[in-house]
A and B are shown apart, each in its own frame.
Chain A
Amino acid sequence: MLLKLTCLIPLFPLIGSIINGFFGLKIGKKAVGFIACGSMTLSFLTSVLVYVGYLMLPEGQHVYEQVVWTWFGASDFNVDFGFQVDPLTLVMIFVVTGIGLIIHVYAVGYMQEEFSYYRFFAYFNLFVSAMLLLVMGNNFLLMFIGWEGVGLCSYFLIGYYFEKKSACDAGTKAFIVNRVGDFAFLLAVMYIFNIFGTIDFTEVMHAAPEKLIYAGEAVTIITMLLFVGATGKSAQIPLYTWLPDAMEGPTPVSALIHAATMVTAGVYMLVRCSVLFNLSPMTMTVVAFIGGGTAIMAATIGMTQFDIKRVLAYSTVSQIGYMFMACGVGAYTAAIFHLVTHAFFKACLFLGSGSVIHGIHGEQDMRKMGGLKKHMPITYWTFLISALTIAGIPPLAGFFSKDEVLYHSLMDGNIIFWGMGISAALLTAFYMFRLVFMTFHGESRVDPSVHPHESPKMMTMPLVVLAGLATVGGMLGLPFLHGWHILHNWLEPVLHFDLANALQHSEHMLHEAGRHAPSWAHLLEPKEHNGWIEFALMVFSTVVAITGVVGAYIFYIKRPDLPEKFTQGQWGLDMVQNKYYVDELYDDVFVKPTVEGSNLLWKECDAKAIDGAVNGAAKTIGWFSRQAQTLQSGFVRNYALFIVVGFISLLLAMF
């Protein structure tokens, strides 16, 4: 019966948001903070209760669905406003409410000085609510409410400082780029309904092997569209450009939305639809490639940035690339595993950077930092732990999750994917420690008028908690204890997929249609889990990570002149530093032509051609009218002439 509480989980933050939004200005900052954090706490506690309730479900039942009301429908199409609780959802709920709660607490401290404090928390709570809808919805459209809802909150929060043009632009850009993804997502949903006659997750996933042909056109298009949707939300190539700009928002926003939760929604969606993706090898390949490519590309850009938050942003893009690569090779557990650990350490990193920025009064440029270690020890140590985690140093959480991704990319994918992954890992270790060294070590380059100081408890406590989680998070999936991989076992009911059965159905369907099925026998060959290879890879990636760290140490501590030397006169650097000119490219290819074309359309087509035709018709009539008028000369003999002319013409017409 505890599961009946499910619908309360997203409701609490929503209520918090409404209260803060409407009455925030009247009730004062303290109350606002209390309501925001309180609603998050309630939500988290409810999640725990729901978890307990879920554990008490009878054997064999993996999904609990709660339909609150029928949202809308027409004919045989019906969408429920319903929630589902299954292992995957539970993982996501805990990530969202847990990390959400921590970051809320942090934000209470961080945003203390802001005038529209209440506005921030209204949006923030609303975001959590939307994110919960996203992960809890039992059908594609409910997920889409959340999907757009988080995008909307992201828009508000990026543009929180709405008097800054760059912030507004960034917000708008984020929303519109996301909309491109949403466009594809919507089409996918329609296609799914077209095929399945339902958009309920459970039903679709259950029916998929029977209704879709392996590698068929439909499944490929659906999954491709879904994936495009995911690239929008999760900032993958080609739709990643909004995320770095999104750093205009307050830092807690970056931590919660643009690192821990919202941007991973794409990964969640892919895993949720794993059955569909499994049926389309082509999409899988594309997903893996895009993921791997994004991981490398973002990492390279990350190496050249100087804005502390932007580095982290590119790092996020890169890490999500990992997750997609994992999905692309079918290692969904690894993807979720990395998602969870990434949420821990990246949130910690962002909050740490926020603490730094807070400590030196809003400066974000790393070139104006340095030597902050002694001023803000807690921040430093937590930041360091997280950096080590992301770099993949054992036995921290990031090591295990990243390693699992790499292992699967080699074993289930091929060497190219693994190569991408491992080189990205090298770059990650390097740029993370470039960040750490430039910020906390070396000489202080801070503006002398600024006195760096450690942040208040309210902000450091969340850092500690997150660093702790980043440290022990790896327990979720220890590699050697095969069969004891907690996350794997936990997610098994969601990810279960019977390929043989699906192939059999496909063959049957193809025969029905009079087509010959290609040979799929090789797909069914069983694969062994090779512990030794895994171990070897682990060692190798550890070495790579350490190499990266050491490299950063040499470049930024030992020989600070080296980066200058290496990059002197390199055309490549310029390109990377300018993010491969992708923004400019999009601007030239999409934005400007659209705006200019629209102007043209308006001024030339609408005003001149269409309206011109309308007014032209009126003018023509006017012209004729004047002609008709001049005929009326006032001379009687003229009039008589008309009668005669009329007579003659009538005669001619008659005979």
Chain B
Amino acid sequence: MEPILAPESIDLIALAPVIVLSFFAMMVLVVDLFGGRNKTLLVFISLVGLLMTAISAFAKNPIPAYSFNDSYIVDHLSLFFICIFTISSALAILLSVEYNEREGIRAGEYYALILFCTIGMILLASSTDMIMIFLGIEIVSISLYVLTGIRRDNHRSNEAALKYFLLGAFATGFLLYGMTMVYGSTGSTNLFKIAEVVQNPSAQSNPLLLMGLVLLIIGFGFKVASVPFHMWAPDVYQGAPTPITAFMAVGPKAAAFAAFFRVFAETFPEMAPSWEILLSTIAVLSMFFGNLGAIMQTNIKRMLAFSSISHAGYILIAVIAKNSLGGSSLLFYMLAYAFTIFGLFGIIIILGRKGEENLEIENYSGLAYRHPILALSMTVFLLSLGGLPPFAGFIAKFYIFSAAIQQGLITLVIFAVLNSVISFYYYLKVVVFMYMKEPEAEFQISLTPLTLFVVFIGVFVTINMGIFPGSIIALASH
């Protein structure tokens, strides 16, 4: 047996973000023990931790750099993703502060769990080894199980957690089994080595490997909530606390896509003929089911859950395109998506109040004339999600589609654009209620500053990335 780990291959600087964040996460836990009921300090520590993480991510230079026997990588993709993760976690924390107070969520581990989850995401985006990927996924998942069910007294929250947990574990089984098969057929868990092995045409037709790929697709497909492994998403999104829903829709999803991209687009590009059609089908089905499911929804969180399923379909196109344009478009899309989603959920949180979250779309009737700015922001977010210029969502879609067309995937793109039309319908439905219906009942809302701040950032970035996307594109397409 060869030595598993050569000491010289351990590069802690490359690992700095994970270490920093772990430190801060544990600090949150410890401080919480002494902090009493006031969670402000925890929030502060968490935010600082995320900031430090983001900064420390750039400590490693030059990139790409490898660590732990090439099972951990610092490259452009992972750096960009780390930024997305820290941003989304920070925004989720900001959204949570006032929400938790309102809803009576006093658990201090809440913030620690978000941070731990972030660690998992960073690992997931940076790992080049299947073991690492597995660990990353599990760290993310387990944190999320808890976060989903953190409102212990809330039946829906509990049920969502249970569903998420059972199905997540179930899917993990598939993922693991797939990894095992890939491992068994290639003899390695390291993605680089696997990639080398599958250069060989005879290895490509190994049924064990193909079976493993299918199982991997299931595992990742579950994490990104693509059809037919999406069924958990609407229930969980609906049941989870709103900030966590937003967080789930962005961070873990992005992380899963990062891994998805690493495994399929970077490790198995030679085998594209065998998985391309599968992923394409899944992508198209995701778009259709996501959009069709969303049309009839009356609960906005549930609707957004379905919408996120359809977005998974769009993003899968980037994976299928498996070119550098695909990678950078994935980055851009996730970033744009993050700001839009957090802004949107920010508004949803603002519009709720204790005991009555006002999640039915009908509750938004006449919003435009009570709180025009909020309604306008909401419109901006929805249209951005729909992919309408001049908002970030449009550029993101444009980016992904151009990656696909460069790869000759025109049919897929046509499916995607037709689905965009369907999606306009339900996004506009919300606009209809906000602008074109008279308010049904008076409801008081409290314009909480932190949440408003998130909304503001969301609007600003969504528009800014829509009109002046140049700098971000330049970063993404490095």
Complex: chain A residue closest to B173, CB-CB = A643
Indicate with 1 or 0, residue by residue over B218-242, a CB within 8 angstroms of chain A CB atoms. 1001100001110110110000000
A632 and B292 form a contact (CB under 8 A):
no
A654 and B278 form a contact (CB under 8 A):
yes
| Residues on B with beta carbons closer than 8 Å to the beta carbon of A634 | 235
Give CA–CA (A625, B211) in the complex, Å.
32
| Residues on B with beta carbons closer than 8 Å to the beta carbon of A639 | 163, 167, 231-232
Indicate with 1 or 0, residue by residue over A507-532, a CB within 8 angstroms of chain B CB atoms. 00000000000000000000000000
Give CA–CA (A647, B235) in the complex, Å.
21
Q: Which DSSP category, helix, strand, loop or mixed, fits chain B's interface? A: helix
Indicate with 1 or 0, residue by residue over A643-655, a CB within 8 angstroms of chain B CB atoms. 1011101110111
| Residues on A with beta carbons closer than 8 Å to the beta carbon of B214 | 647, 650-651, 654
The interface centre, meaning the residue of A638, A645, A649 with most chain B CB atoms within 10 A of its CB, is A649
Complex: chain B residue closest to A649, CB-CB = B228
Known A-B contacts A643-B171, A646-B229, A653-B281; the reply to A629 vs B163 at CB < 8 A is: no
Indicate with 1 or 0, residue by residue over A590-632, a CB within 8 angstroms of chain B CB atoms. 0000000000000000000000000000000110111111011
| Residues on B with beta carbons closer than 8 Å to the beta carbon of A638 | 231
| Residues on A with beta carbons closer than 8 Å to the beta carbon of B222 | 643
Give CA–CA (A647, B213) in the complex, Å.
11
| Residues on B with beta carbons closer than 8 Å to the beta carbon of A654 | 210-211, 213-214, 274, 278
Is residue B409 within 8 Å, beta carbon to beta carbon, of the partner chain?
A: no
CB proximity to A under 8 Å, residues B266-303: 274, 277-278, 281, 288-289, 292-293, 295-296
Other-chain residue from B167, B207, B213, B295 in contact with A643 (beta carbon distance below 8 A) = B167
B174 and A632 form a contact (CB under 8 A):
no
B174 and A643 form a contact (CB under 8 A):
yes
| Residues on B with beta carbons closer than 8 Å to the beta carbon of A586 | none
Is residue B162 within 8 Å, beta carbon to beta carbon, of the partner chain?
A: yes
The interface centre, meaning the residue of A622, A638, A654 with most chain B CB atoms within 10 A of its CB, is A654
Indicate with 1 or 0, residue by residue over A206-217, a CB within 8 angstroms of chain B CB atoms. 000000000000
| Residues on B with beta carbons closer than 8 Å to the beta carbon of A68 | none
Is residue B217 within 8 Å, beta carbon to beta carbon, of the partner chain?
A: yes
Is residue A642 within 8 Å, beta carbon to beta carbon, of the partner chain?
A: yes
| Residues on A with beta carbons closer than 8 Å to the beta carbon of B210 | 654-655
| Residues on A with beta carbons closer than 8 Å to the beta carbon of B277 | 653
Is residue A640 within 8 Å, beta carbon to beta carbon, of the partner chain?
A: yes
How many residues of chain A are within 8 Å of chain B by beta carbon?
Answer: 26
B293 and A643 form a contact (CB under 8 A):
no
Known A-B contacts A647-B218, A650-B278; the reply to A640 vs B292 at CB < 8 A is: no
Is residue A636 within 8 Å, beta carbon to beta carbon, of the partner chain?
A: yes
User: Chain B nearest CB: distance from A156 CB in Å?
Assistant: 44
| Residues on B with beta carbons closer than 8 Å to the beta carbon of A627 | 292
| Residues on A with beta carbons closer than 8 Å to the beta carbon of B170 | 640, 643
Give CA–CA (A625, B162) in the complex, Å.
26
Is residue B422 within 8 Å, beta carbon to beta carbon, of the partner chain?
A: yes
| Residues on B with beta carbons closer than 8 Å to the beta carbon of A645 | 228
| Residues on A with beta carbons closer than 8 Å to the beta carbon of B211 | 651, 654
A646 and B166 form a contact (CB under 8 A):
no
User: Chain A nearest CB: distance from B150 CB in Å?
Assistant: 20
The interface centre, meaning the residue of B162, B167, B231 with most chain A CB atoms within 10 A of its CB, is B231
B292 and A625 form a contact (CB under 8 A):
yes
The interface centre, meaning the residue of B166, B170, B214, B422 with most chain A CB atoms within 10 A of its CB, is B214
A646 and B218 form a contact (CB under 8 A):
yes
Known A-B contacts A632-B231, A653-B277, A655-B207; the reply to A643 vs B218 at CB < 8 A is: yes
Give CA–CA (A650, B207) in the complex, Å.
13
Complex: chain B residue closest to A640, CB-CB = B170
User: Chain A nearest CB: distance from B256 CB in Å?
Assistant: 15
| Residues on B with beta carbons closer than 8 Å to the beta carbon of A646 | 218, 221, 227-229
Known A-B contacts A650-B214, A650-B217; the reply to A625 vs B293 at CB < 8 A is: yes
Is residue B341 within 8 Å, beta carbon to beta carbon, of the partner chain?
A: no
Indicate with 1 or 0, residue by residue over A418-431, a CB within 8 angstroms of chain B CB atoms. 00000000000000
Known: A626-B296, A629-B293, A636-B167. 10 other contacts (CB 8 A): A625-B292, A627-B292, A631-B231, A636-B163, A643-B167, A643-B222, A646-B218, A646-B221, A646-B229, A655-B207
Contact sample, A vs B, 24 pairs, CB 8 Å cutoff: A621-B422, A621-B425, A624-B288, A628-B289, A628-B292, A632-B234, A632-B235, A638-B231, A639-B231, A640-B166, A640-B167, A642-B229, A642-B231, A643-B229, A646-B221, A646-B227, A646-B228, A650-B217, A650-B278, A651-B214, A653-B277, A654-B210, A654-B274, A655-B207
Q: Which 8 A-B pairs have the closest CB atoms?
A: A639-B231, A646-B228, A625-B295, A625-B292, A628-B292, A650-B214, A628-B293, A642-B228
